[in-house]
């Protein structure tokens, strides 16, 4: 019952065990948008983008993410609360239940791939129950041309069935929703959740195992862009720290906003073909690139409209703080063609410090850089995960622990080597609070963060005067163009400076306590980068 869309000859869902489905292959973004609206699953907004609700889940559910423990993974994965093991037998049984559930249904199939560098290309087949989920895959993964589709051979398969719910007692899941990776069968199986981020993060997690473990290439949870002189900048950070916003720079070409690889020959390449940006409080003035990308083909999630109109109210957080938009990268004018850059010169670790302690920008020694990368300090901001309603301080190794199957020191060692080999400068940038902790202080203004990063990229912070933080040992500039001097020293922004000193020591203790599990494998140089107690 397949419709006649472009696909490789002989391709059928029968290969996956799905029988008698109405198969829609490789529909255009326009077709998928129109079907979503016709089925009353989406609304057209004033800009021509469509808006959907993802249901119960408006963010990732990390405690319901599993990896099948088998011959490939048993001795390689960093098992624990982040990488939760799932038995092959339970996976096979659950897979069969999902396949039987999808029998006879109307399904949407997308042939696409990850990794812009052809040497690492991973062909994907994404099967979705909902048309707008398939639009998300069209936006977020790389898009083969017509001729490639006619000869397409997928290596990995994503099956997305948000309306299927597991039975935890029988199926081995924690609750009714699940996202499971099987490296032997090369399947990402997702059910019980409509949150589209599970699709992209599933493949990102797979690549975070495949590239470092099998291809000696560092995978990174980061955004990246290229300057006019060909220099590449990398921005690490968890959701909500500013990766998407700060890499969308009118004076630099965007490589990508979330997931990249860094090869031995100093190439940085995007895993994806699109962007997945937070839209809460979005405005044209603050983020013109994202604002202008919300046009036909874009997919908005969990937004609400101004009364009596189809104009999105980006201030409305009544559904979630984690309102989102996905769009293909070509919706942005200022992009790096082929999504590949060379010559990394600056790395920025973006941390949303809810305690209001860290300076807004600091330069790091190699030891400090390795320490802060492995620590991955930030605050989980509202909405990015189920149950998070206000900032919660957290440590996420490599600024992406929820997606990192290997031990953090694997990624840390690879990054340290690349730092040394390339001579890259490393900066710690606090995009969180100043003048007090969350609830007392205020979030650092985006225009100041942009100005500091601009000055660092231009080399203008090379010769300014620096001061050293007494607890963290960080070197921070005492002046920066277009930034008030008084915000550069975080202690000076607090009315109660004794309260600041106490909070700084509390945060230092948290850093050192968190690092205890890594200390045995850390070098003396890395340990020297820790805050002082």
- How many CB atoms are closer than 10 A to CB 496? 11
- From 243, 253, 425, 469, active-site residue: 243
Q: Which residue has the tokens 């589709």?
A: 149
Here the tokens at position 214 are 């099998």
Phi first, then psi, for residue 307 (nearest 5°) are -50, 125
- By the 8 A CB rule, do 386 and 61 touch? yes
Here the tokens at position 372 are 């802060």
**What's the CA gap between 409 and 220, in Å, rounded?**
13
- From 73, 244, 378, 393, active-site residue: 244
Catalytic residue check, 257: no
- By the 8 A CB rule, do 506 and 526 touch? no
What's the Cα-to-Cα distance from 176 to each of 96, 171, 173, 435, rounded to whole Å?
Answer: 16, 9, 7, 43
- 3-state helix/strand/coil string of 306-327: CCCCCCEECCCCCCCCCCEEEE
Strand 274-278 with 324-328, pairing:
antiparallel
Catalytic residue check, 118: no
Q: Which has the closest alpha carbon to 441: 500, 400, 394, 383?
A: 500
Catalytic residue check, 213: no
- From 221, 363, 425, 503, active-site residue: 221
Catalytic residue check, 496: no
Packed helices 366-375 and 408-422: angle between N→C axes, nearest 10 degrees: 150
In Å, the largest CA–CA distance within the chain is 72
- How many CB atoms are closer than 10 A to CB 471? 18
**What's the CA gap between 16 and 99, in Å, rounded?**
8
Catalytic residue check, 244: yes
- From 64, 231, 258, 353, active-site residue: 258
What's the Cα-to-Cα distance from 425 to each of 93, 230, 320, 369, 379, rounded to whole Å?
Answer: 50, 16, 37, 9, 24
Catalytic residue check, 260: no
- From 60, 110, 143, 469, active-site residue: 60
Burial 67-100 (b: 16+ CB within 10 A, else e): bbbbebbeeebeeeebbbebeeebbeebbebbbe
Q: Which has the closest alpha carbon to 36: 85, 143, 108, 101?
A: 108
Catalytic residue check, 239: yes
- Classify 324 in phi/psi space as left (phi over 0), alpha (psi -120 to 50) or beta: beta
The number of angstroms, rounded, from the C-alpha of 468 to the middle of its chain's C-alpha atoms is: 32
Q: Which has the closest alpha carbon to 444: 343, 359, 329, 317?
A: 359
Catalytic residue check, 185: no
Q: Which residues pair with 161 in a beta bridge?
A: 191
- From 223, 232, 239, 245, active-site residue: 239
Q: Which has the closest alpha carbon to 419: 254, 529, 291?
A: 529
- From 69, 110, 125, 201, active-site residue: 201
HSE-CB for 53 with a 13 A CA cutoff: 10
Terminus-to-terminus CA distance in the chain, angstroms? 68
SS3 128: strand
- DSSP letter at 486 equals G
Q: Please identify every residue annotated as catalytic.
A: 60, 201, 221, 239, 243-244, 258, 324
């Amino acid at each position: 019952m397949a419709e006649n869309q472009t696909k490789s000859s002989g391709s059928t869902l029968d290969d996956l065990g799905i029988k008698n489905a109405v198969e829609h292959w490789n529909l255009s973004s326009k077709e998928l948008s129109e079907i979503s609206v016709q089925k009353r699953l989406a609304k057209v907004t004033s800009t021509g983008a469509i808006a959907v609700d993802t249901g119960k889940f408006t963010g990732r559910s990390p405690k319901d993410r599993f990896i099948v423990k088998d011959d490939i993974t048993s001795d390689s994965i960093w098992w624990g609360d982040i990488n939760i093991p799932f038995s092959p037998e339970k996976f096979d049984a659950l897979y069969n239940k999902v396949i039987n559930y999808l029998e006879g249904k109307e399904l949407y199939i997308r042939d696409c791939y990850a990794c812009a560098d052809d040497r690492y290309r991973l062909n994907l087949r994404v099967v979705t129950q909902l048309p707008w989920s398939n639009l998300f895959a069209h936006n977020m993964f790389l898009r083969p041309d017509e001729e490639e589709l006619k000869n397409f051979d997928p290596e990995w398969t994503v099956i997305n069935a948000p309306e299927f719910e597991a039975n935890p007692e029988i199926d081995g899941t924690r609750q009714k929703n699940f996202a499971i990776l099987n490296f032997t069968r090369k399947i990402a199986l997702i059910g019980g959740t409509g949150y589209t981020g599970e699709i992209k993060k599933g493949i990102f997690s797979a690549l975070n195992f495949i590239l470092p473990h099998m291809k000696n290439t560092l995978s990174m949870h980061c955004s990246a862009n290229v300057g006019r002189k060909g220099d590449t900048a990398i921005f690490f950070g968890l959701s909500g720290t500013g990766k998407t916003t700060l890499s969308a720079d009118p004076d630099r070409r965007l490589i990508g906003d979330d997931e990249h690889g860094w090869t031995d020959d100093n190439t940085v390449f995007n895993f994806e073909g699109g962007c997945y940006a937070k839209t809460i409080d979005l405005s044209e003035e603050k983020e013109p690139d994202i604002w202008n990308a919300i046009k036909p083909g874009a997919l908005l999630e969990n937004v609400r409209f101004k009364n009596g109109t189809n104009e999105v109210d980006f201030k409305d957080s009544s559904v979630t703080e984690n309102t989102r938009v996905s769009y293909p990268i070509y919706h942005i004018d200022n992009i790096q063609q082929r999504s590949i850059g060379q010559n990394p010169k600056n790395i920025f670790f973006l941390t949303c410090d809810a305690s209001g302690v860290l300076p807004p920008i600091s330069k790091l020694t190699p030891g400090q850089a390795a320490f802060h990368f492995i620590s991955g300090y930030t605050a989980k901001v509202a909405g990015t995960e189920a149950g998070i309603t206000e900032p919660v301080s957290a440590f996420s190794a490599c600024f992406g622990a929820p997606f990192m199957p290997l031990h953090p020191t694997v990624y840390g060692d690879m990054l340290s080597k690349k730092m040394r080999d390339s001579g890259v400068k490393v900066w710690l940038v606090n995009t969180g609070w100043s003048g007090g902790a969350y609830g007392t202080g205020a979030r650092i203004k985006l225009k100041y963060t942009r100005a500091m990063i601009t000055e660092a990229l231009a080399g203008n912070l090379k010769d300014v005067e620096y001061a050293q933080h007494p607890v963290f040992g960080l070197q921070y500039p005492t002046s920066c163009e277009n930034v008030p001097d008084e915000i550069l020293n975080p202690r000076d922004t607090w009315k109660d400076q004794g309260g600041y000193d106490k909070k700084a020591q509390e945060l230092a203790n948290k850093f050192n306590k968190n690092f205890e599990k890594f200390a045995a494998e850390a070098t003396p140089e890395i340990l020297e980068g820790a805050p002082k107690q």
